[in-house]
Structure 1
Amino acid sequence: MFIRNERSIKEFMQLYPVVAWLIIIQLAVWFLTNFLQTPIGTLIENWGTGVNFYISQGEYWRLVTAIFLHAGLMHVLFNSFALVLFGPALEQMLGKLKFLVTYLGTGLIGNLATFLLGPALYSHVGASGAIYGLFGIYVFMVAFRKQLIDQSSSQIITVIAVIGLLMTFIRPGINVYAHVFGFIGGFAIAPMILANVRPYNPWVRRQHVDDGSIGFDPNRWQKKQRNKQLLKKGLWIFLGILVVLGLFSRIF
């Protein structure tokens, strides 16, 4: 479920448009607010950052806009990387609209918990609450809907979810409320959103050819074997990135 075998960025965007546009939007916002530091970027940052005090004054849109803002390059790249890995399978399984509502909904749950439980002047940005919401849905699959997730993916999501939650409390500067309650929100709504869904199928290709017919990859079985090996390597690389980020955050 978590190995990307699309042949191009164009194909990825065609198959998973919601995931693709979420990434494009948050990268574009980061480019304006952090890289170029333009007046419009400053306006977006001031208007969209999740600040508990301003939310308490009625600026409730900040509970959603904060999802698309990020503090720095590693922050936005890490969340975009996580969305590329874990978003496509759920977008295919849930459908575009339900996936978008789920993603924003779990992010909103995390930010709402931050507002209700965090300090009055607490300020936060990032899509981590929504990402952890996806983790919560996958963990529900592992626990209660095993027919929707293969064994290898179950092991991967279990390890990553455990490490991610542990690092939530180890690394400084983390919005613990968003991580924990985003995860809980995803787990809680999973029974409803996973009703009547089918397992993710990476071999269903909507490849458009000249005659308008649907293509099918004849080498799918060979690719599947190669992908199993890549899956193991990808897991260790991902875990290595988590460990390195954790170490650097403690050093600096």
Structure 2
Amino acid sequence: MDQVPGSPQEPQDARGDDGLPGCYRHPDRPTGIRCTRCDRPICPECMVSASVGFQCPDCVRGGSGTGHAPRASVPRTIAGGTIAANPRLITMILMGINIAVFIAMTLDDGRLLGDLVMLGRTPPGYLPEGVAEGQWYRLVTAMFLHQQFAHIAFNMLSLWWLGPPLEAALGRLRFIALYLLAGLGGSALSYLLAAPSQPSLGASGAIFGLLGATAVLLRRLNYDMKPVLILLGLNLAFTFLWPHIAWQAHVGGLIVGAAVAFGMVHAPRDRRTLVQAATCAVALLAIAAVVWVRTLQLVG
């Protein structure tokens, strides 16, 4: 953990390329947000949501500063989650699952792929069967499958880059919900629009969901949107121009990830948990509705 300056009034001279001051706990992270009590610059990982603005962890734990704001017993992230000592834990677990499944697929000569890949429906008499035949679990398992080394390498690098900042800003439980719902959104749209017998696999839907969530978070914090918008544009261009890419999964994950993140970071503080849970529930119901409609089309 980075060293915390001893005095609330200690000046912070670190400046980023855009002229913003660096977080007092993480000087290499430029930020435009300051603690409402001590006025020190704080990054998303250090922000603790308050009734007005955000506070730094020191002020929350020590009750420092003026005014009569109540001391919070547990520091909270911008989305209301608990601030974790290791903001990369869930990201590392997800990476570990993906890598373990990839190794298992490599060792079993493709049999695991046939059992877990996302398939809509296959012609009668063919194996494996698909989602339309009742194997709904494929919508989830496909999120953790990769065939080529370049495929999993690119997705895991993207997850390592996008995951920790979102995990720190949202909290672990909300980050897990975001990741899984975005991945399911990608599987659902692929199931709806792709050919029934076209297999779809990979963490790309969830990764695009994290990219959309990053854009929403930066907008919420009034950060410069140009870098993430450029990155998003390049990834979408690559999605539609490169052959053999399931663009449906990318777009579905992006839409669901951005929508869920919006509900999480814009939820009113007095009803935050309720609004966030309702946002996730609505997203899950929408995904289930898409799957149900497509299943009726395929078996009707």
Smaller-chain TM-score bracket: 0.5 to 0.7
> Which residue does the alignment assign to 1:46?
114
- Paired with 2:132 and 2:235, the residues of 1 have a C-alpha distance of 30
Structure 1 unaligned regions, length at least 5: 5-12, 198-252
Map 1:83-102 onto structure 2 (within 5 A): 83-102=159-178
| Partner residue of 1:164 out of 220, 225, 235 | 235
Give the number of the structure with larger relative contact order, counting CA–CA contacts within 8 Å between residues 6 or more apart. Answer: 1
What TM-score comes out, normalization by structure 1 length? 0.66
- CA deviations 1:131-165 (Å, max 9, x no partner) are 0011111222344x143xx33xx332111101001
| Partner residue of 2:196 out of 120, 130, 138 | 120
Greater mean alpha carbon deviation, residues 126-135 or residues 180-189: 180-189
Task: Return the offset for 1:190.
Answer: 2.2
| Partner residue of 1:20 out of 87, 92, 95 | 92
> Which residue does the alignment assign to 2:56?
none
Q: Which residue identity does 2:182 align to in structure 1?
A: T
1:182 and 2:250 matched: no
Q: Percent of counterpart pairs with the same letter?
A: 31
- Paired with 1:189 and 1:14, the residues of 2 have a C-alpha distance of 23
- Paired with 2:261 and 2:87, the residues of 1 have a C-alpha distance of 23
- Paired with 2:237 and 2:101, the residues of 1 have a C-alpha distance of 29
- CA deviations 1:26-70 (Å, max 9, x no partner) are 111111212xx236xx44322211111111111000001000001
Map 1:38-77 onto structure 2 (within 5 A): 38=108, 42-53=110-121, 54-77=130-153
Task: Return the offset for 1:195.
Answer: 3.3
What TM-score comes out, normalization by structure 2 length? 0.56
Q: Which residue identity does 1:31 align to in structure 2?
A: I
Q: Which residue identity does 2:96 align to in structure 1?
A: I
Structure 2 unaligned regions, length at least 5: 1-22, 30-84, 122-129, 269-300
Tell me how many residue pairs correspond in the alignment. 181
Cα RMSD (Å) of the superposition? 2.5
Task: Return the offset for 1:186.
Answer: 1.4
Q: Which residue identity does 1:173 align to in structure 2?
A: H
1:104 and 2:180 matched: yes
